[in-house]
Amino acid sequence: MLTLYEYNRCGTCRKAKKWLDVHGIAYQIVPIVEQPPSEEQLRVWAEKSNLPVQKFFNTSGKKYREEGLSQKTKSMSDEEKLRLLASDGMLIKRPIAVNGDRVTVGFQPETYEKTWRAHT
């Protein structure tokens, strides 16, 4: 079953859930703020998604901007970035959808179509 890491006040997360519901794809929800993924989970997801660790940051989030992370992360190693992401679910781009070897970050209908609908 698909696991969706989401924040309940996130409009993008609501769009993703609506898309999954419309397409009859079952999922379980994990609240990303209350239960942020571990460093190891994030490391595995980055590898499986073929995305750089930087893509897991919620760059439009208030905390990301307030802490000046767009500059700070430029000099950070991937390990440092993973540690920072795992420390605060609000820093993580959402939703993250995971099922076995497939991982998507954020919500794009085309990506969901290709990744989730084609494999159900």
> Domain holding 35: CATH number?
3.40.30.10
Range of the domain at 65: 2-119
Q: What is the pLDDT of residue 119?
A: 66
Tell me how many domains the chain contains: 1
pTM of the model: 0.93
What parts of the chain have a pLDDT lower than 70? Answer: 119-120
* Residue 36 φ then ψ, to 5°: -65, 145
Q: What is the pLDDT of residue 35?
A: 96
Local structure of 40: helix, strand or coil:
helix
Distance (Å, whole) CA 102 – CA 109: 16
pLDDT tens digits along 51-86? 999 999 999 999 999 999 999 999 999 999 999 999
Q: What is the pLDDT of residue 120?
A: 55
